[in-house]
Structure 1
Amino acid sequence: MSAFQHLSINQLIHMQEAAADLQIVDIRDAASFEAGHINAAVNLNNENLSHFIAEADMDQPVIVVCYHGISSQSAATYLSEQGFDHVYSLDGGYSAWHQANA
């Protein structure tokens, strides 16, 4: 059984409409993040990972975003292992989200 759940673009849109307290973490490189990212997303990297874990609300949903939805699965597993209760990997990643919102 996976430690995280897969999340479609449509499911993310519905979650954003229903709750303002989503924690969206984007694990792409800083330049890609700066070029475009999902509203309210935080660029998560090795330098700020421990700070994020220390400050984040473990009870609130965490959505992990990467380029195409592959790398986010490993990151989502890791965050789940750190104690987050509701961890999601965005299927299709930022590229799918960008296409759906272009």
Structure 2
Amino acid sequence: MSAVIKSLNCEDFQALRASADWMLLDCRNLTDYKAGHLDGALHAHDGLVESLVRKGDKQRTILVYCYSGHRSEHLTEFLTGFGFDNVFNLVGGYTRWLEVNAQPVE
């Protein structure tokens, strides 16, 4: 039986972001992460994920994202399977985040 994946769309996360202590995990490759990521996001490399599984706060709220939301869905499911209760996949990923937060052209 696979874990239930919780999802959160960009618009809702934008509204909730200031109201909670979120851990943001960017599971794109390191080059893409370095080129740009959500403020405060950590690169979800294998060592970080292993450390979270071993000794992370399983009650902490975590938002996972990639480019489109597919790869992050897998990491969300993985963490949920290890007992993390508040893990969310960002629907549409970083691409959608950029669309939602684009500044209007004047």
Is the pair's TM-score, using the shorter chain for normalization, greater than 0.5?
A: yes
Q: State the one-letter code of the partner of 1:93.
A: G
Q: Does 1:63 align with 2:59?
A: no
* 1:4-19 matched pairs, under 5 angstroms: 4-19=5-20
Identity of aligned residues (%): 27
Show CA shifts across 1:42-89 (max 9, x none). Answer: 100223321233353211211110110111111100000111111111
Find the aligned partners of 2:98 and 2:57 in 1 and give their Cα distance. Answer: 27
Q: Quote the Cα distance in structure 2 between the aligned partners of 1:62 and 1:44.
A: 12
Match in the other structure for 1:37: 37
Is the partner of 1:3 in helix, strand or coil?
A: coil
Give the number of the structure whose alpha-carbon radius of gyration is greater: 2
Verify the 8 A CA contact 1:4 1:86 in the aligned structure 2: no
Match of 1:25 in 2: 25
Which residue is 2:94 aligned to? 94
Structure 2 gaps of 5+ residues are none
Indicate conservation of the 8 Å contact 2:3/2:81, yes or no. no
Aligned-pair distance for 1:38? 0.6
TM-score (norm 1): 0.89
Instruction: Work out the number of aligned pairs and report it.
Output: 101
- Contact kept, 8 Å, 1:58 with 1:85, in 2: the verdict is yes
SS for the counterpart of 1:84 is coil
User: Match of 2:88, SS?
Assistant: strand
SS of equivalent residue, structure 2 residue 46: coil
Q: Compute the displacement of 1:8 (Å).
A: 0.3
